[in-house]
Chain A
Amino acid sequence: MSSALQIVEHEGAEPGRAPYGNYRLGAAYDEMFAPDGKVRPHYAGLAESVSIIPAEELRRRQQACEASFLHQGITFTVYSDKQATERIIPTDLLPRIVTADEWARVEAGLRQRILALNHFLRDIYNDGRVLKDGLVPRSMIYGSKHYRREMRGLPVPHDAYVNVCGTDLVRREDGAFVVLEDNLRVPSGVSYMLANRDVVRRAFPDLFRAQAVRPIEHYPRELLATLRALTPVRDDVSIAVLTPGVFNSAYFEHAFLARQMGVELVEGRDLLVNDNVVYTRTTSGLKRIDVIYRRIDDDFIDPLIFRDDSALGVSGLFNAYRAGNVVIANALGTGVADDKAIYAYVPRLIRYYLSEEPILESVETFLCREPKSLSHVLANLDKLVVKAVGESGGYGMLIGAHATKAERAAFAEKVKADPDNYIAQPTIQLSTAPTFADGGVEPRHVDLRPFVLHAQDTVIVPGALTRVALKRGSLVVNSSQGGGSKDTWVLSN
């Protein structure tokens, strides 16, 4: 191919022309192409690279990415009747690019949000001002299965209940980033953010350098600093990552973070509590632990206090926590602030605690507990997505547009029987980003999960996990349902 040809092809990067033969712009906002089919300026470099590199070479690089994940053991295990199969979460070769301006807004919005949510958690576990003022109904808090009575009145370092947060954002048709969901319990995916960067940077080294992509490799260091800030400054603070073990689907991430931070990775069986102090069992004897970054749900953390059938946790851990002898991050009971009904209140919480207008919008949400909303929801079931409040991972959910009449009628009965338990949102067209598929490049729907660290200060590493629905037209980005991920490039100017 002559260089003249390359330039012609680059100038001609547009939907419908190879390798964009199957690129159809729909109603969704497209990350790469403006509605008129022109390449957005910040994607010009990527467009050029994709035009210059032969399809065969692109495919080879894509395979190299996948092989690298397999060799590194970045896999999750699918158990079927007979054998366990290890699979990778596919990484798409083409990075998703976010401009400096877009990122500045996202970052400011996330800072504001985590601050308000931490204020809210402190409030409901202490004075309950927001409940007395009638802003949030008491029943929503005390009825939540993630509310932990045991946390009432307990002091938490820096009043930082949520130390690690993964917030899911999507881009609306009009191009604005809106918050879809906060993950305040044990958010995962940050190892994919880092691993994707590692392989994609190698696939496009020149482009990466030319684009002035902001670095994210310091995430583990920032996480360590955040965990350290939770306990009085001493030289010999001992920190551990608590994992459910090698069979957990996020085990790779737990091991990865422990290794990158240089702290111990422990399982429940490595820990024991004596006299309200937590120890690990080492070859040389018992060693005290000061901070636990736990990757186990509240329910399983201490069989004496929570689920007594849990083999993952540590008996007596909560009492050690209550005694102030160990810090657990995130604090227990944070799940009460990330359920789907509270989500609708977050803009009000931001105004209430910070006296600021929310920087990031939320998705319009109808609370079925409010009679007016309920009748609206029931009348428009075919246009809405209805979700059970306490569920996640796509359970207890109705996507009205894709459901049959009978399914909608059956769901309507469930909603009427227990309206408090349901919320509804309009179907959102997630934005699409160019994705390598069958030798060509096609649009696929994506979301964005940045990770927020918060102790004394808030730190947001300029990057995110971009999840992508690899099936054509699919809006479901979950890895369990055919989702993959992309490297996310935040540009510095």
Chain B
Amino acid sequence: MLSRVADSLYWMSRYLERAEHIARLIAVKLETTVDQSREDAEASWARVRAALWTENRAATDAALTHRLAFDLGNEFSLFSSINFARDNARQVREQLTIEVWESLNLLYLSLKPLSQDAGSSRNPARIFRQTLQELHALEGVTSSTLSHDEGWYFLELGRHIERAQLICRLLDLHFGVARSLVAAAPNYFDWLVLLKDCSAFEPYCKVYTAAIQPERIAEFLLFNPEFPHSVRFAVDGVCNALTHVAPGAPPHRRAGVERLAGRLKASADFTQIDELMSGSIDHFLADIAGQCEQIHEAVYVAYIAYGAETVL
């Protein structure tokens, strides 16, 4: 597979994962606002902004929603992410099936008018739920129409690296260093929101019942091996994808990447929640995010941006 193509597939998938995450955070936020006091709503907005690296405040909730969702000037907005994903897809148009491309393109075309008109969204919560559904449908179409070959595993790699990092960020805001970014400490309601932000409420209840305990939530979102939006599940996804990409690369090129993947997997598999809750969770979250970053760089050095002189 062409290195450039791998690069585009990888980023297409990362941006789609990011878009899904942003859409879910905003949808959950808008759906739960009605149940909150003004101060609590304020704090949970602050958490959403921090989770999406959008530091500056907006005058109204509607303006903030627009900025987080549809503002092309905000690189981390929902529409920017979909736009970047589509740009990457266009560059590898010949690698995708017509079904995949059309689903993504339709999603882009349906959101585009909203990005051009700041005051148009009358019923935004519905829009974000719908966008989520379309993103899930796109994932399904991708899985069922595209060959699960090397390109597919670059999509998987991008999706899971992005997912691991996004969940780490969310957990950091509730358990780690980034907690200080939001004035109020999370209350019962915020823990519910955290679960919903990871579409984890029902799966969590199945394992731990509806007893909401921060420690259990952390354990579930970090270490549950079966839940797709847990860090451990994402790490497994990364490691699995890495065994399938660049099948023809010589062993010495693969070695660096595989060593990093093994280390990441060990961190996710063998860490105990008790150790973390007694103080080292902020360090742990930063470490997982950092290891994902290292894997990203190692993949580029080994498979994508290598110098020609290193292989001739």
Contacts and interface: CB of A to CB of B under 8 A. Distances in A.
A285 B94 contact: no
B119 interface: no
A258 B312 CA distance: 27
A256 B150 contact: no
Contacts of B2: 264, 266, 270, 280-283
Given A71-B106, A72-B98, 4 more contacts: A256-B94, A279-B308, A281-B3, A282-B1
A72 B102 contact: yes
Interface in A59-100: 70-73
A283 B150 contact: yes
A259 B4 contact: no
B4 A267 contact: yes
Contacts of A264: 2
B249 A283 contact: yes
B4 A255 contact: no
Contact of A269 (B4, B90, B102): B4
A480 interface: no
Chain A interface mostly: mixed
Contacts of B304: 283
Contacts of A279: 308
Interface string B227-255: 00000000000000000011111100000
A259 B1 contact: no
A274 B308 CA distance: 9
20 contacts: A70-B109, A73-B90, A73-B93, A246-B87, A246-B90, A259-B93, A259-B94, A264-B2, A270-B4, A274-B312, A281-B2, A281-B3, A281-B4, A282-B2, A282-B248, A283-B3, A283-B246, A283-B303, A284-B249, A284-B303
Given A255-B94, A265-B94, A281-B308, A73 B105 contact: yes
B249 A255 contact: no
Contacts of B311: 285-286
Contacts of B306: 281
Interface string A97-125: 00000000000000000000000000000
B94 A286 contact: no
A285 B4 contact: no
A353 interface: no
Interface residues of B, number: 30
Contacts of B150: 283
B70 interface: no
Interface in B100-134: 101-102, 105-106, 109
Nearest to A266: B2
B213 interface: no
B94 A283 contact: no
Contacts of B98: 72
B91 interface: yes
Interface in B80-98: 87, 90-91, 93-95, 98
Given A70-B109, A71-B105, A284-B249, A270 B93 contact: no
Contacts of B308: 272, 274, 279, 281, 286
A264 B3 CA distance: 12
Contacts of B250: 285
Contacts of B101: 72-73
B4 A284 contact: no
Contact of B102 (A71, A246, A256, A284): A71
B5 to A, nearest CB: 8
A171 to B, nearest CB: 35
